């Protein structure tokens, strides 16, 4: 049985550039930085090239964490008043399904059992335990909550619901809002909406995880893109299935995952620190650009 062709004619190539620039009011000495920037490869993504550099220069070493994410650690020797991290890669992805993706009907309760039940435990642990009852009540009041012994498009409905009731807000602050805060404000970033979906899914008994990455969009094609986040729910027989509540849809070939975790803090794209005098001012600028590349010419 043919599983995968390395460069199938129907697959499309995406080139992405991710620039992160920290500027300081005076030179500082950078501590080691943890970088989660390499795309997760698999049956639906092939990585063709990757170039990761920093200014000032750093010694970069790679390893895989417990969740099989590729993590780069950058260690610096030079002090500087600016830190620039440049990540650039090319991947192949399958074309988008014509007419969109059909809803997935899921049995309730979850059928995760046996050895998978043990592996799923971290993805069932709540990030905000005091808010679980409120999330069950909120989702139950919508009339979309699943009935025991029935199947329904639970997560398609949940992604659409969050997209409808929460207004997207590109927040520059670090961290995430709690689900209750997102519902109270009726606004949030992609990561806030992802956490709302993850915690609601866990409250219903389904393993869920946080995904950090990129979304090919009109903004990214114009050179004004940003990092992105969404949720994955574990469905027996289908595996980890991505839902993006910020757009109210299942994920597609324009979603490029770089890291997954049971907690948003586990896959921050860039994390680190510096040593410097007190009162050092700083600013951050992030820019992401994507473009589609022509298919490679086949050799005769």
pTM as predicted: 0.93
Same domain, 68 and 162: no
Same domain, 121 and 226: yes
What is the residue whose two structure tokens read 């896959």? 267
Same domain, 126 and 229: yes
Tell me the pLDDT of the chain (300 aa) as tens digits: 334 444 567 899 999 999 999 999 999 999 999 999 999 999 899 999 999 999 999 999 999 999 999 999 999 999 999 999 999 999 999 988 877 788 999 999 998 988 899 999 999 999 999 999 999 999 999 999 888 888 999 999 999 999 999 999 988 777 899 999 999 999 999 999 999 999 999 999 999 999 999 999 999 999 899 999 999 999 988 999 999 999 999 999 999 999 999 999 999 999 999 998 888 989 999 999 999 998 776 655
State both tokens at 74: 């950058």
| Strand ordering across the sheet containing 255-261 | 249-250, 239-244, 227-235, 208-215, 255-261
Same domain, 214 and 145: yes
CATH number of the domain encompassing residue 148: 3.10.620.30
Q: Of 262, 238, 266, which is closest to residue 250 (Cα–Cα)?
A: 238
Distance, CA of 227 to CA of 220 (rounded, Å): 10
Domain count, the chain: 2
* Residue 6: predicted pLDDT: 44
Distance, CA of 155 to CA of 208 (rounded, Å): 11
* Residue 1: predicted pLDDT: 31
* Residue 299: predicted pLDDT: 56
Same domain, 258 and 287: no
* Residue 219: predicted pLDDT: 92
β-bridge pairing 270-271 and 33-35: antiparallel
Asked if residues 28 and 76 have their Cβ atoms less than 8 Å apart, the reply is no
């Amino acid at each position: 049985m043919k599983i995968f062709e390395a460069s199938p004619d129907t697959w499309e190539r995406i080139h992405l550039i991710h620039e992160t620039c920290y500027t300081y009011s005076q030179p500082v000495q950078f501590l080691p930085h943890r970088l989660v920037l390499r795309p997760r490869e698999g049956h639906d993504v092939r990585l063709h090239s990757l170039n990761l550099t920093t200014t000032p220069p750093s010694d970069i070493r790679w390893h895989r964490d417990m969740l099989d994410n590729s993590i780069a650690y950058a260690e610096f020797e030079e002090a500087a008043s600016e830190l620039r991290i440049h990540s650039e890669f090319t991947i192949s992805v399958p074309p988008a399904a014509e007419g969109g993706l059909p809803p997935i009907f899921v049995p309730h309760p979850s059928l995760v059992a046996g050895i998978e039940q043990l592996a799923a435990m971290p993805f069932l642990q709540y990030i905000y335990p005091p808010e679980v009852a409120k999330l069950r009540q909120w989702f139950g009041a919508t009339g979309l909550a699943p009935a025991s012994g029935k199947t329904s498009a639970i997560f398609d409905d949940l992604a659409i619901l969050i997209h409808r009731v929460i207004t997207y807000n590109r927040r520059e602050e670090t961290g995430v809002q709690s689900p209750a805060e997102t519902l109270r404000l009726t606004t949030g970033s992609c990561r806030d909406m992802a956490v709302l979906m993850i915690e609601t899914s866990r409250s219903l008994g389904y393993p869920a995880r946080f995904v950090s990455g990129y979304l090919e969009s009109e903004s990214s094609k114009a050179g004004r893109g940003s990092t992105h986040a969404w949720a994955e729910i574990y469905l027996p027989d289908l595996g980890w299935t991505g839902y993006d509540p910020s757009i109210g849809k299942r994920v597609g070939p324009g979603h490029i995952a770089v890291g997954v975790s049971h907690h948003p803090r586990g896959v921050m794209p860039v994390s680190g620190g510096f040593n410097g005098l007190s009162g050092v001012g700083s600013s951050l600028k992030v820019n992401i650009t994507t473009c589609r590349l022509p298919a490679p010419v086949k050799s005769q």
